[in-house]
Structure 1
């Protein structure tokens, strides 16, 4: 079968399309004829071995697939040991979820990592309450574009989006954000406060790291929560000391989806809700680009250069 095979750590240049043996059937696992694979920012970390979990070589990247099982079910699934950038993938049965006819492949892929992440950022880690202000960084991206919509649906009083270009800010506004501002770190605290009517904000969903993290923390109101779930800038923020949190009764909460997957009620149940919301039109996943499998490197290049919006998908038929 064709697959993207990585034999050395590095950037997009290490992603090469080759022929590899098909995965073998194993007890408790499903073989999927992959119609499409999702691309996540975490994949760019995995191929350079800079992610939370260490990567071993050789590897086939990709943590999410949609396709058909051997008995004809159409499912979307997490690939627990990577392997998604391929024509076939082996996944745990427990991680495969049936996809309704009303949901497209790209929409399903947008939900299985980024949709679940957005749901948990707001519900589980951010503990967003009705009427609170919510800042969504990278609001035109895969997770951000869903978080904007979910925050409004869940009753946020004000959703403040950040994005790097006027076009991306317009997209965030079209998805329901009340205001959209430039996400550059310089002066970000003041822009967020101004966007919230001169008041500090209640919840921040942050995945950039570095100075953006620090400015976001400074923008938090008393009892505010900053949920950090990425480090797209590849810059670590300055250490956070207890006095900084106690002084304004603020909280910093980390989130990684893998910790939710195996816990009862934290995987299938939110996915069922998200799929229902897509099916009845309350949630609109943004599929921002479909690349041939052979162009996986270009997808990573575009993602790292912030040229993309929404969910990126690899078409395994090309």
Structure 2
């Protein structure tokens, strides 16, 4: 099979597109023929050795896939022909991938594969950020950063569904228009407007109840100034490339909280949440309440181009590779 491999860690994240043996199923896992692989910002870090998870070399990047089972291990609940989406430690940028039992779910027959690959990370992350961590309530105001990105687009749709007022940020007229199409009540173009002043004007000086931040750095620091009394800043990533030093005095003065969401660890620490969460997301998609935003689709052979475009913020929604 064809697969991208990182043979050594380099500053530019060099990968090789090589012929590799197809993985074999064992235990309760299975092997799928990959029909769509998700591209995430953490992939750009992992291939450079800058992510907190550092697979042993050589390794194949890619942590989310959707495809069809071609081989099941002796303890697997799946069978050949089953359609699955799954979250992996690595191995997704390939024609075949070994899939663990924990973190994989059956895809309903009426659910497109390319949409299903958006489910292992961005929608569960947005769901956990808003409901499990921030305890979002109807009538509250949510500020969603990078609203045209993967987690941001999912957070806009879910927050609207749960009765929140949504303020989104995005860069440029095309991305701000896209956020409005997704359901944001107000969109701030961060390339043209100062964030804190725009949020204060939009909320009559009160601030927002919840911030969903996949960007980090100065955006996270400025977000604390946007919080209302009792507000919650939920940190879901560092796509801006910098980790913020949050001033604790602002948390104290506003009785606020800074919370983290690491969806990848939920499958280990709270596996009981996974099946009902996916069942809810499938039903919301079936009802037309959510729809994964997928515009940028690259051939598997163009994985470096996909990673470069994502890192340069030239993409929207979930970026997908297809063999």
Same fold (TM over 0.5): yes
Given the superposition, is the C-alpha separation of residues 221 and 148 from structure 1 closer, same or farther in structure 2, using an over 3 Å criterion?
same
* Residues paired across the two proteins, number: 313
Q: 1:202: which partner in 2?
A: 209
Q: Given that residues 142 and 310 in structure 1 are in contact (C-alpha distance below 8 angstroms), is that contact kept between their aligned partners in structure 2?
A: yes
Specify the SS of the correspondent of 1:313.
strand
Q: 2:5: which partner in 1?
A: 5
Residue 15 of structure 1, CA deviation: 2.5
Pick from 288, 298, 319 the counterpart of residue 312 of structure 1: 319
Specify the SS of the correspondent of 2:295.
strand
Given the superposition, is the C-alpha separation of residues 277 and 255 from structure 1 closer, same or farther in structure 2, using an over 3 Å criterion?
same
Structure 1 alignment gaps of length 5 or more: none
Specify the SS of the correspondent of 2:237.
coil
Residue 301 of structure 1, CA deviation: 0.6
Given the superposition, is the C-alpha separation of residues 23 and 264 from structure 1 closer, same or farther in structure 2, using an over 3 Å criterion?
closer
Q: Given that residues 185 and 215 in structure 1 are in contact (C-alpha distance below 8 angstroms), is that contact kept between their aligned partners in structure 2?
A: no
Q: 1:279: which partner in 2?
A: 286
The answer to whether the aligner puts 1:250 opposite 2:256 as a matched pair is: yes
Q: Given that residues 9 and 49 in structure 2 are in contact (C-alpha distance below 8 angstroms), is that contact kept between their aligned partners in structure 1?
A: yes
Alpha-carbon distance in 2 for matches of 1:78, 1:99: 13
Alpha-carbon distance in 1 for matches of 2:170, 2:153: 10
Specify the SS of the correspondent of 2:120.
helix
The answer to whether the aligner puts 1:73 opposite 2:79 as a matched pair is: no
Specify the SS of the correspondent of 1:238.
coil
The answer to whether the aligner puts 1:293 opposite 2:300 as a matched pair is: yes
Give TM-score scaled by structure 1 length.
0.94
Q: Name the Cα RMSD after superposition.
A: 1.6
Residue 239 of structure 1, CA deviation: 4.1
Given the superposition, is the C-alpha separation of residues 197 and 281 from structure 1 closer, same or farther in structure 2, using an over 3 Å criterion?
same
* Post-superposition CA distance 1:116-162 (Å, at most 9, x none): 11111101111111110000100011111111010000111x10000
